[in-house]
């Protein structure tokens, strides 16, 4: 595929899914401005590194991987730590905000949060999550199961 055609497909995908990418970045960094910076940096890097995308069918997974890396870069650069999501006014994130579940997700570690969000909020398959996080599918399944058990325990405790 010609490089310019690949770039055009990446640009189209980013524009079409901007809100979804922003929502995911926001769920990770918990700050509107930082999430916007992450999505902007992801857009730049995705277009700049278009040639590294081998399979255009996996563009969404590839972009999520860039977003996660940009969030991690932001954390390490600014030494940002997760805040308590209950104290945050989440802009236009109705699919996340409507659930009390999101307030309980803070008991999970960073990777567990990512896996749960990708699986249940972004509706990714286990194989896609495995690709995004560069982990074995069985590892993803195990971490997902343990995360759900933690959340179940938290829910039973608070009920």
**Candidate from 28-32, 91-95, 127-131 with smallest mean pLDDT:** 91-95
Q: Calculate helix-pair angle for 32-48, 59-78, nearest 10 degrees.
A: 130
- pLDDT, one tens digit per residue, over 60-78 is 999 999 999 999 888 777 6
> Where does CATH 1.10.1740.10 sit in the chain?
1-86
Could you say which of 3.40.50.300, 3.40.50.10070, 1.10.1740.10, 1.10.10.10 is the CATH number of the domain covering 1-86?
1.10.1740.10
Between these two residues, 77 and 55, which has the higher pLDDT value?
A: 55
Topology of 99-159 in CATH? Arc Repressor Mutant, subunit A (1.10.10)
CA–CA distance from 15 to each of 12, 21, 39 (Å)? Answer: 5, 10, 11
CA–CA distance from 4 to each of 7, 50, 71, 77 (Å)? Answer: 5, 9, 27, 32
Cβ within 8 Å of residue 78, ≥6 positions away:
none
Cβ within 8 Å of residue 4, ≥6 positions away:
none
Q: Name the average pLDDT for the chain.
A: 81
> Where does CATH 1.10.10.10 sit in the chain?
99-159
- pLDDT, one tens digit per residue, over 110-131 is 899 899 989 988 889 999 999 9
């Amino acid at each position: 595929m010609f490089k310019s055609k690949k770039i055009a497909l990446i640009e189209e995908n980013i524009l079409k899914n901007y809100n979804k990418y922003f929502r995911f970045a926001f769920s990770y960094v918990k700050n509107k401005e930082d999430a916007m910076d992450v999505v902007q940096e992801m857009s730049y890097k995705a277009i700049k590194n278009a040639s590294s995308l081998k399979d255009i069918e996996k563009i969404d997974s590839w972009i999520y991987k860039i977003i996660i890396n940009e969030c991690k870069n932001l954390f390490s650069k600014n030494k940002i730590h997760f805040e308590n999501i209950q104290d945050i006014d989440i802009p236009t994130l109705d699919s996340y905000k409507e659930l009390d579940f999101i307030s309980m997700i803070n008991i999970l570690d960073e990777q567990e949060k990512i896996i749960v969000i990708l699986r249940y909020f972004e509706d990714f398959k286990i194989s896609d999550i495995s690709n995004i996080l560069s982990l074995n599918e069985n590892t993803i399944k195990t971490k997902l199961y343990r995360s759900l058990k933690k959340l179940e325990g938290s829910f039973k405790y608070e009920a």
